[in-house]
A and B are shown apart, each in its own frame.
Chain A
Amino acid sequence: MKRLVVVDVNKCVGCQLCMLACSRRFGVVGHSKSAVWVRSAGGFERGFTIVVCRACRDPPCARVCPTNALRVRDGGGVILDMSKCIGCGLCRDACDIGAVMWDYEVGKPVICVHCGFCVNYCPHNVLALEEVS
């Protein structure tokens, strides 16, 4: 299994092409379906913060889900079953690093599947896919 990692946040230029790539997987242009989040670390002068799912082995988001909509993935992280999700937002609150994003248009979480599509569009090799056992 693979997981998405931030190799070197200091090289990030804040172009957000990773965020755009993530939504583009669904044929959507925008940020609404993006599971990656790049924001300034207190203004552009301070560089950037990149939020991605760390693929926890024992993910707090899955533990708090009242409907078992989040299933633990082999190698870490979770898989979302949309049909079970009631959009309560507990998973979002449970993730300390804010990696459970929110799709405001449908009122449900956006969960990283560690596919690595965003990695292909990072012009400075800030993101990578890493093998996990």
Chain B
Amino acid sequence: MDWFKSLSNVLYIDLTRKTYWVESREDLFSKWLGGIGVATQLYKEEVPRNTDPLGPENVIIFAVGPLTGLYPLASKTVAVFKSPLNGYFAESHAGGRSALAIRFAGYGAIVIRGVSDRPIYVVIEDDKVRFRDGATLWGMRSTETVGRILREVTSGPGHRTIMRIGRAGERLVRYASVVTETYRHFGRLGLGAVMGSKKLKAVVIVGRRGFKVPDIPTYRSVYDEVYGLAVKSPAMKKYHDLGTAVNVLALNSIKALPTRNFSSGTFELAEEVSGEKLAETVLARRVACAGCPTACVHIAALREPYPEEPYFYKIKFISYDHEPLYALATNLGIGSREGFLKLLDVVEEEGLDAISTGVVLAWATEAYVNGLISEKELLTKVSWGDYESYIKVVRNIVIQPNDFYKTLALGVEEAAKRYGGLDYALAFNKVEPAGYHTGPLFTISLIVGSRHSHLDSGAYSVDQELLASKKPLPTPQEAIERIIEEESWRQVLASLVVCFFARGIYKYEIVGKCLKPLGKSVSVEELKRLGRDIWVEKQLIKYSEGFNVLNVRIPKRILETPTPHGVIDENYIREALKYFDLIVNLSRKLKT
């Protein structure tokens, strides 16, 4: 079957009625390419404005794009849903084998509607969908065990993805993640809780098919060019060698490494939890997403003796990255690699977002030290660096044995609203931030970025470039222009869909070249316009759901702790936000 024709197939699954069907949506794919472009339109069709994120009306949309499986580094799936963490349109990306499995099963997107009356998991095998009883898997303590079982009871090893939730998702922790292939995640904004609310324990997708490309010789030669760039380009080296964990020391050296709940930009034990030290001592294996040669996934081996039984050991394999290192090490004052890995392992078992969980733990530590909460609520003592207590807290966030933990499961914003300590409750629009304290542009990007994610526009690197080149800060208006321009281009990358780590390779000209063998000729200008259009669509959806940048709380702590650019000037941020608001309003007027 032809490439674009098969890409245009959207698989609809209704969990309430346990039915499925396929619709050709060439209307959407021809205009919006795929990925986030198409998923945004599907969301508009599917999700009414006042939908409860944990109700049956919310949907889960998975989308891939025209480059998925076609070229190296096009290995990501875009998930779109309404976030139970902040109540707005949400987007999360993950790799593993998810993207190729969806694409080679013959789809460009999958829409999951409704809610099951009992726990189930869904198996999509090329053109068939099966609804299987999930009662036995429900409540299982480790996402790893769930994966192990599903590997054995479903077919298609090597051609499949196994996306599953942990107990955190089942129990509707608002920052529960979806784990795929053990080490990749739809981490942010609570997709795990949405799956949990639908009683959907897992989605297994097997894709064994193949599709014809119209212009084969050109395709092969463009493939070779991209492959050459992927394996030789310095743009991928950072992810290839030490992985994103290389950031720990880099950020520490410029005083931008969030430490102890953002109270400092340097961590005296940074060396101990650095990418360099981890590689030297515990790095055991590197793995890649299907279709990507980079192998950025770094896996540590943790050897633990059983205290009561001599000569018995368990070896656990735990993948690490910069973000978990910030959230579950530096920002909690943990300088023990072993402690960090043990804590991360529990977070993974339960299926929680590492970033949000770490920020929640950091706030709880300060709230405890300040006497806002006591052992009565927390059921344990906590202090910076005490990873064993943090493990207990993480388990309780999932189990929710009292009101305090029920609130903690809603995110740091809700917890601080109820128990105090808002000044040091690190969240922007209720979303806990990623691990950078680089300067004002990054802070602005957390507020205006459509996912409130560090990868929306990568403004942390703009802060660092300004620092390195000793250039003055741009005006607030220029800062916004820059952030929007970058985020708009990333809408194109997320529609194609390529990994954002490969943004240094998929530049304008390469993207145009890549589409050519598919019989699609698109100019750079057209691509840029498309990116901007998608960006506008997303803003308008969020604004229609009640989002407004002018109402976003800026945690005081962010404005107190100096960045490499000094203390952030709140007026600078507010000016930028006003300008952003103006742009969104203008965009709305232009559309109507």
Contact = CB atoms under 8 A, between A and B. Distances in A.
B158 A37 contact: yes
A88 interface: no
Given A24-B220, A30-B69, A45 B210 contact: no
B290 A15 contact: yes
A36 B291 CA distance: 14
B104 A15 contact: no
Interface string A41-53: 0111111000000
B231 A31 contact: no
Contact of A27 (B126, B151, B219, B289): B219
Contact of B182 (A38, A43, A124): A43
Nearest to B181: A44
Nearest to B68: A29
A115 to B, nearest CB: 14
B127 to A, nearest CB: 11
A27 B231 CA distance: 22
Contacts of B210: 23, 28-33, 105
A84 interface: no
Interface residues of B, number: 45
B299 A31 contact: no
A20 B220 contact: no
B233 to A, nearest CB: 12
Interface stretch (B22-30, B280-288, B351-359, B440-448): B280-288
A29 B213 contact: yes
A31 B97 CA distance: 13
A32 B209 contact: yes
17 contacts: A15-B288, A15-B295, A16-B290, A16-B291, A17-B72, A20-B69, A27-B216, A39-B158, A40-B151, A40-B157, A43-B147, A43-B151, A44-B287, A45-B183, A104-B126, A105-B210, A121-B227
B70 interface: yes
B3 interface: yes
A38 B289 CA distance: 12
Contacts of B69: 20, 29-30
B146 to A, nearest CB: 11
A24 B210 CA distance: 9
A13 interface: yes
A131 B572 CA distance: 67
Given A39-B157, A43-B144, A30 B285 contact: no
Given A15-B291, A15-B295, A45-B299, A31 B209 contact: yes
A104 B219 contact: no
A123 B216 CA distance: 23
A1 B69 CA distance: 32
Nearest to A11: B286
A30 B288 contact: no
A90 to B, nearest CB: 20
A20 B216 CA distance: 14
A75 to B, nearest CB: 27
A60 interface: no
B351 to A, nearest CB: 16
Nearest to B216: A27
Contacts of B223: 24
Nearest to B101: A31
B317 interface: yes
A43 B318 CA distance: 12
Contacts, number: 103
Nearest to B184: A44
Interface residues of A, number: 31
B344 interface: no
Interface in B96-148: 96, 100, 103-104, 126, 144, 147-148
A31 B182 contact: no
A87 interface: no
Contacts of A16: 100, 158, 290-291
A89 interface: no
B159 A31 contact: yes
A14 B290 contact: yes
Contacts of A47: 285
A105 B291 CA distance: 22
B333 interface: no
B212 interface: yes
A42 B96 CA distance: 15
Interface in A5-27: 13-17, 19-20, 23-24, 27
B208 interface: yes
Contacts of A29: 3, 69-70, 210-213
B398 interface: no
Q: Which 7 pairs across A and B sit closest by C-beta, in order of nearness? A: A30-B210, A39-B158, A32-B210, A27-B216, A123-B293, A13-B295, A15-B288
B211 A28 contact: yes
A14 B287 contact: yes
B210 to A, nearest CB: 3
A85 to B, nearest CB: 18
Given A20-B69, A23-B210, A44-B299, 5 more contacts: A14-B290, A15-B288, A30-B210, A44-B182, A105-B210
B53 interface: no
Contacts of B159: 31
Interface in B286-319: 286-293, 295, 297, 299, 317
Contacts of B72: 17
A15 B220 contact: no
B216 A13 contact: no
A15 B3 contact: no
B313 to A, nearest CB: 16
Contacts of A15: 288-293, 295
